[in-house]
Structure 1
Amino acid sequence: MFDRPLDEDQATEILRPVWPDAVVTDIRARTGGQLSSVYEVRCAEPARSVIVKLYADQWRWKQAKEVHVYRLLQAGGVVPIPVILRVEPDIGPLGCACTVMTTLPGQPLSHISIYLDDAQLAHVYRQLGAALAAIHHIELSAYGYLTTRILDPEPDNTAYMTRQFTKKLAEFEQLGGDSALHAAIRAYVAKRTHLFRRCEAPVLCHNDFHEGNVLVQQDAGNWTVTGFIDVENAAAADPLLDLAKTDYYAIRGNPVKRAALAQGYGPLPDDWSERSTLYRLYHALELWDWFASIGETTPLPGIADDIRGLI
């Protein structure tokens, strides 16, 4: 966990190139993580708030990626998204990289979704589907992980997903995953590699579009999506890979959410369900590897059960 404190004097200095007369009145820690410390900085003059992200030294490249992806989204007409106000690879007194961006209104969907009835959930998830569809209108030149460019680009989805499954299976084995489950995953994927060919072109994928990264606010009794954040996992891939991650992380078998997401997204291919299962397997495997790699063992049995259920 990267936890870099930020005081009012430091925040004022960071904001000075943006607003020379900024008067900082409050600093509130927002959800951070392994990569960055995130703060909402509120100002009396001008009367607005901004998000300040401070990056650990080894994750400076993630800062550049985030800025690049937000600019791709802006160029593609995808709104609402944060506007980048300042990017610094090194704030001297703090000894870390810093990004300043506008604050989107609302709160994470994850904070309120358990209180929504089926009609309200469907209303919100149709908006999520429409947001993903807008992101996926941005076509890219090759398949691969995205930074400020596509790393190790692959010309087709079969090559890309075969490489990714091979990598994640190797990590699963190295991290002590069950050998029988490893063999079962490998066999399941081997019989379904033909499904990868169904994707005709890579698009921009958010690749972390779950309820914690979607902001909502109540408007005339309805919950409205006000934007989305955290594009640091973005990739160039099959759009169904992105939908499947939302399915695995957020829908979790809820038929109301799944139907509404699909309705909001628009027409899906006939083999959506079969391809989604294959991609959800990938996301579950990747998540198992991630928790195992950081020594967080508590979630591993549950994820392994998810994998068994999928195959």
Structure 2
Amino acid sequence: MTLPALVEQHPAKQLARIAFTQLTGEQVHRLVRLQKGWGHISWTVRTHSGRYLLKTGLRRPALADLYRQVAAQQQAAAHIPTPLVVAISDHGAALQRPCYVQTWLDGVDGEVLLPRLGPQGVQHFGRALGAAVAAMHQVPGPRFAEDCSGAVTYASWTDACHARLSRVTAANEKAAVLDTGVLSTVVDHLAERIGDLPRTITPRLTHRDLYLPNALQLAGANGAVGLIDWESAAFYDPVWDFVKLGMWVFDRHPELRAPFMDGYGPLPGAFDERLAVYQGIEYLAGFPYFGAAWPDATMLTGFRRLLNDWLATHCPTGTRS
């Protein structure tokens, strides 16, 4: 991806200072570029009124991406701890790209925090994370939608799943990373199972990127957990969130599974059947993403293992990737 060129006479840090003042009217006392983060270029900003974060998309830099992130974050903020969006720019002013300013959420992300915790701390964090995700999943959507700005919506959940599977299939065919026989086997099986999904599923706010760096244990909040980074959020079946939770949280940190489930509460009906469909779709999505769009051999190997395990469980007579 080629990012828009920055104005030659200013370094990026100075452009961020100018952009923040243009958006908020406040002078910057201190500005520091965050080095961590895959989806955004971000700067922490201190002013006389407090601490903020200036963000612009890296992998998803378009104006439509800004709208979907802001819409989701505003929906979430009414129900769970998450930063508040205080200013947005559709043209980016000095940054020459869409950007927005949000309040700073003071806390420690789960990836940094977990190694510091003893057994009781792990239990507390897991329950608090489960409670935060459950609260998010209570936020209703007006329709099933690919994003919370309503750019792409569906008449039914079955339609949404078929549309997602169709896009993932087309991306795999173009990338040509996954064996065509395996792709055909998985797609045929998923298309059949989509038709068996319960008709009672209703659209809820779904983060779709739940892993420990996006979960903060908040400072001074009695161990409560907040969620950040809403660029992938949608109005989906909330069970979809358990795909990444399984991959990046429970599989890597099995000690978090039981307390998370305790904090989350009762799982919805036909949970395992629903999750199996969404796992198959998301495992397929990893191949064009990490095999072509953003090549990463380690991640691609991981998705081959996940898909092979899924095939062994759900298509035992099928081929392997």
| CA apart distance, 1:145 | 0.5
Q: Name 2:154's counterpart in structure 1.
A: 154
| CA apart distance, 1:150 | 4.3
CA 1:250–1:294: 2 relative to 1, 3 Å: same
Q: Could you list the per-position Cα deviations for residues 268-293 of structure 1 after superposition, in whole angstroms to 9, with x for gaps in the alignment?
A: 13432232232222222222221123
CA 1:263–1:226: 2 relative to 1, 3 Å: closer
Matched, 1:174 2:174: yes
Q: How many angstroms apart in 1 are the aligned matches of 2:85 and 2:174?
A: 40
| CA apart distance, 1:213 | 0.8
Percent identical residues = 23
Contact 1:207 1:233 in 2 (8 A): yes
Gapped runs of 5+ residues in structure 2? 312-321
Query: What amino acid is aligned across from residue 74 of structure 2 in structure 1?
Result: R
Q: Name 2:306's counterpart in structure 1.
A: 306
Q: 1:71 aligns with which of 64, 70, 74?
A: 74
Query: What amino acid is aligned across from residue 293 of structure 1 in structure 2?
Result: A
Q: How many angstroms apart in 1 are the aligned matches of 2:199 and 2:120?
A: 33
Q: How many angstroms apart in 2 are the aligned matches of 1:276 and 1:303?
A: 16
Contact 1:104 1:226 in 2 (8 A): no
The 5-angstrom pairing of residues 245-260 of structure 1 reads 245-252=244-251, 254-260=253-259
Q: How many angstroms apart in 2 are the aligned matches of 1:26 and 1:141?
A: 39
Matched, 1:100 2:101: yes
Q: How many angstroms apart in 2 are the aligned matches of 1:10 and 1:268?
A: 44
CA 1:273–1:115: 2 relative to 1, 3 Å: farther
Q: Could you list the per-position Cα deviations for residues 80-137 of structure 1 after superposition, in whole angstroms to 9, with x for gaps in the alignment?
A: 1111121112243332222111110112211232444554333212212211111121
| CA apart distance, 1:169 | 2.3
SS in 2 for 1:93: helix
CA 1:122–1:292: 2 relative to 1, 3 Å: same
Number of residue equivalences: 302
Q: How many angstroms apart in 1 are the aligned matches of 2:165 and 2:116?
A: 37
Query: What amino acid is aligned across from residue 51 of structure 2 in structure 1?
Result: S
Contact 1:79 1:227 in 2 (8 A): yes
| CA apart distance, 1:17 | 5.5
Gapped runs of 5+ residues in structure 1? none
| CA apart distance, 1:191 | 4.5
CA 1:234–1:7: 2 relative to 1, 3 Å: same
RMSD between aligned alpha carbons? 2.8
CA 1:32–1:218: 2 relative to 1, 3 Å: closer
Q: Could you list the per-position Cα deviations for residues 161-212 of structure 1 after superposition, in whole angstroms to 9, with x for gaps in the alignment?
A: 1221232123223211112321331243245224422542111111112111
Q: How many angstroms apart in 2 are the aligned matches of 1:301 and 1:128?
A: 29
| CA apart distance, 1:302 | 2.0
- The farther-off stretch of 271-280 and 233-242 is 271-280
SS in 1 for 2:91: strand
Contact 1:214 1:228 in 2 (8 A): yes
Matched, 1:60 2:69: no
Q: How many angstroms apart in 1 are the aligned matches of 2:16 and 2:254?
A: 48
Q: Name 2:81's counterpart in structure 1.
A: 80
Matched, 1:202 2:203: yes
| CA apart distance, 1:244 | 2.7
Q: Name 1:281's counterpart in structure 2.
A: 280
